[in-house]
Structure 1
């Protein structure tokens, strides 16, 4: 830990770029450890802002706002990967401590760059080709086989900005469907299930890895994560090796989410998220140190916390009007409800999650 400003003392201020539910839970964890939090978000009265010391209401790349963040915050982090990488670079260039750094953010914002990096550090992915035109899709299908998944290179989440291409004659329609934007075409992965691993790295290079979680999706949106996943020791070791390779390759500081395809005898990386992650919410009720506290510890230069699970948890996202079930869910003895404080329950919008304690897996 070379920086003389670390470790941060209780009472220091942590800046969070982004005012959504992840920022809210980071702020709540930081508060428990004695830190103040200042949020930067263009939306007034954001979920994270309402539980923090203060909020700067401005665009993420607003020079004045970034200057204030750099002056009042002892370290700055972000809650989602669509924060402009240039804004994070500007903070770092101005002398602010920023974690994770701008390199991780920039790589995660471009799917071609992301997969190129992952393969370079030995974290294998599906085969892929970069796409600039419908003709590239046709050529890509010849190389990768059909069907293949077309995704925009940038932006897109929860299944948005992507479409399956089943034959060459669909190339033009598929390219139009994603707005004829730069894209990536990914080979289909014959996976048995999707797993994810939540991991963390401190300023001193020490790494902590949580047990694997098993995920199910509907409509491109995560519905449930069950963790620890039922898996063998070899799979867990593979996941830990992948996590360390990515963390060290990025010289990363903070919590990182890694989505994995389980092919039985090997794991392929689907994508990474340079932040706390939806599939890590189970740690709030399954571990002594959850992913949000872990992230705060890492960026503050504190020792990383324990990652062993003391309970098996099923995490379920509540989308849109499903949050209206809050009263019934709050009355269940085996369930803990986490509400995000969002005002409008739009269709498909993540409004809350519940963690249900499951019985232990029989030997």
Structure 2
């Protein structure tokens, strides 16, 4: 099988490499400053773990590579303006929004979108960075350089957040995992819960939405779609043209992980629907030191990224799954005593979903 070069060498590239090993697929996560001649680029299929990148010797070489899967799609989805325009073009529900070009728009913004405005940088920004929640008396908090570089959305009163992770093959076949329930704190995903039998109507709506997006773009590989749950159904929040944090539970909770599924799709290998037989919980490890006591728990699977531990930084995650929800709840109770206090609310939330 052809090797795969992954543009970006963070934890997603690392987990793609790990997923390729059992299948005999050589996966090379590469940093943006890598020398093209040092890599088997010409023989490889190219993918990416990041949506946007600066111009370097490597990215200039890849820009003309015929096997860079989704190369021309990344710029569309990496810019929140063109991403929102795509959703509007497809008639898919999303929060009311507009481009924020100048500060004299604010009276019209609040009149049109309501009392809470969510400002997001068009490009960059993740885990809550590059975003502002503003009311009319807070607009001075937005840096002046943001005007023209941001969109503004209506603040949505949602009852929950879910994501759908799916994949599309070269011939247009699509497969999906069950919807994942997500809890964010300060803009960072803290905990995810996936159930083998999700709400059928919600699952169907999500699959129709994500299918429409992937088919319109002729996308190949794994894509994640984050949504708000509102009384009318689902509102699309954001799209990620890659494997996604909310799909990490699939490493231990599904017959095929999202990382293997992505490799299968881009290499044109068989793409069966992943089998999910038990509830799963994923706990993000954020700015938390490694604790080998976690491994005392038989349901805990540790995925450690070997990154320097810093406040607010994702350094690993814990996956737990079991067919018995009571056993899973007991494991979460035991785990919470081994984690810093700020994990307790997220674990309690996860227990409520089971």
Which of the numbers 306, 309, 314 marks the counterpart of 2:273?
306
Ranges in structure 1 where 5+ consecutive residues have no aligned partner: 1-8, 43-56, 59-63
> Is contact 1:15–1:73 with CA below 8 Å preserved after alignment?
no
What is the match of residue 144 of structure 1?
113
What is the match of residue 3 of structure 1?
none
What CA distance in whole angstroms lies between the structure 1 residues aligned with 2:318 and 2:215?
33
1:214-229 aligned at under 5 Å gives the runs 214-228=181-195
Greater displacement, 213-222 / 70-79: 70-79
1:263-274 aligned at under 5 Å gives the runs 263-274=230-241
What is the match of residue 104 of structure 1?
73
Q: Does 1:247 align with 2:217?
A: no
What CA distance in whole angstroms lies between the structure 2 residues aligned with 1:87 and 1:269?
36
> Is contact 2:5–2:41 with CA below 8 Å preserved after alignment?
no
Q: Does 1:346 align with 2:310?
A: yes
- What SS does structure 1 have at the residue aligned with 2:92? coil
> Is contact 1:257–1:275 with CA below 8 Å preserved after alignment?
yes
> Is contact 1:134–1:175 with CA below 8 Å preserved after alignment?
no
CA deviation after TM superposition for structure 1 residue 191, in Å: 1.2
Call closer, same or farther: CA 1:89–1:328 in 2, change over 3 Å: closer
CA deviation after TM superposition for structure 1 residue 96, in Å: 2.7
Call closer, same or farther: CA 1:85–1:174 in 2, change over 3 Å: same
What CA distance in whole angstroms lies between the structure 1 residues aligned with 2:325 and 2:299?
16
What CA distance in whole angstroms lies between the structure 1 residues aligned with 2:116 and 2:146?
20
> Is contact 1:340–1:352 with CA below 8 Å preserved after alignment?
yes
- What SS does structure 2 have at the residue aligned with 1:241? helix
1:268-287 aligned at under 5 Å gives the runs 268-287=235-254
Which of the numbers 159, 181, 191 marks the counterpart of 1:192?
159
What CA distance in whole angstroms lies between the structure 1 residues aligned with 2:197 and 2:54?
38
What is the match of residue 3 of structure 2?
13
1:99-248 aligned at under 5 Å gives the runs 99=69, 101-167=70-136, 169-176=137-144, 179-180=146-147, 182-228=149-195, 231-248=198-215
- CA-atom RMSD, angstroms? 2.4
Ranges in structure 2 where 5+ consecutive residues have no aligned partner: 327-353
CA deviation after TM superposition for structure 1 residue 84, in Å: 4.5
CA deviation after TM superposition for structure 1 residue 145, in Å: 1.0
What is the match of residue 50 of structure 1?
none
What is the match of residue 47 of structure 2?
77
CA deviation after TM superposition for structure 1 residue 358, in Å: 4.6
CA deviation string 1:250-274 (max 9, x = no partner): 1100100100111133111000000
CA deviation after TM superposition for structure 1 residue 85, in Å: 8.8
What CA distance in whole angstroms lies between the structure 2 residues aligned with 1:85 and 1:237?
40
